[in-house]
Structure 1
Amino acid sequence: MASLIISYYGGVSNHCASSPLKSETVTTSGTSAQSTANTSGAAVASLFSDTAHYFTIADNPTASAANGVYLPANTLVWVDLRDALTAKFAAVTA
């Protein structure tokens, strides 16, 4: 098992995430796991894990190598949520 840490932010100001809202940890494995819905209205999220993952975002997502975005181990990635304000993340270990 691995963990994917998702942190949510209210927006971006001067190229920096602003207004931290919440964080959550999603326990992942070889089977897709979902986060909670973005009910805080966050506009930006960061994802980090010490394990490589594939992730996707949608209202009811299922992540896989075929449809996901690759997140290398020990890499921080930023995701714009303005078009997905109530969506969930799904992730699976790579």
Structure 2
Amino acid sequence: MWSTVPVQVIKIMFAGCLMVWLFTVASCAMLGYGTTVMVNSLANSEAAKKIARKARERELQEHNDRDNRAASYHTRDDYYEEYMDK
């Protein structure tokens, strides 16, 4: 059966499969590049900078609040040492 298929048909089928594969790889590469460009542009936008600044401010505020709570925590022994022994 295969002996009746001309070699030219096999070459055309191979070339067609190769072209489909190349187009698939190229489209994936373009999608990846487009995604990279979009993410970079969003990361460098003013809104992203505002969000990052607010997040840093919130994190610093939480850190300061946590330190203030830890510094203001006194045990009963601390109270007696500071106020009753004088």
How does the TM-score come out when normalised to structure 2? 0.12
Q: Which structure carries more relative contact order (alpha carbon 8 Å, separation 6+)?
A: 1
Whichever structure has more helix as a proportion of its residues is 2
Larger % of strand: which? 1
Q: In terms of Rg, which structure is larger?
A: 2
